[in-house]
Amino acid sequence: MPLRDKPIALEFFAGGGLARLGLSGQFDVAWANDLDSMKCRAWRENFGAHGLIEGDVANIQLDQLPQRAALAWASFPCQDLSLAGDRAGLSGGRSGTLFAFMARLAELRERGDPPEVVVLENVKGLLSSDSGRDLAAIFRALEDLGYAAGCLEMDAAWFLPQSRPRVFIIAVRQGVEIPDALLSSDNRLCVFHTPAILKAQATLKSGVVRWYLPPPPKAPTLLADLLDPTDNAWWDANKLATFNQQLSGSHRARLEAIMGTPGRHIGTMYRRIRRKGGEKHQCAEIRFDGIVGCLRTPAGGSSRQFWLVVNSGNLKIRPINPREAMRLMGVPDTYLLPKGTLAGLKIAGDGVAVPVVAWLSEQLLAPLLACARP
pLDDT of 218:
82
Q: Phi/psi of residue 34, each to 5°?
A: -160, 155
Q: How far is the C-alpha of 138 from the C-alpha of 296, rounded, in Å?
A: 25
| Sequence-separated contacts (24+) of 22-25 with Cβ below 8 Å | 22/330, 22/352, 22/353, 22/354, 22/355, 22/356, 22/357, 22/358, 22/360, 22/361, 23/71, 23/73, 23/357, 23/358, 23/361, 23/365, 25/358, 25/361, 25/362
pLDDT reading at 81 higher than 50: no
pLDDT (tens digit per residue) in 240-254? 999 999 999 999 999
Q: How far is the C-alpha of 352 from the C-alpha of 366, rounded, in Å?
A: 19
**Ranges of each domain in the chain:** 8-219+348-372, 232-320
Q: Does domain 8-219+348-372 have CATH number 3.40.50.460?
A: no
Average pLDDT, the chain: 91
pLDDT reading at 274 higher than 80: no
- The residues with which 122 forms a beta bridge, in sequence order, are 167
pLDDT reading at 298 higher than 90: no
Average pLDDT over residues 334-353: 95
pLDDT (tens digit per residue) in 252-269? 999 999 999 999 999 999
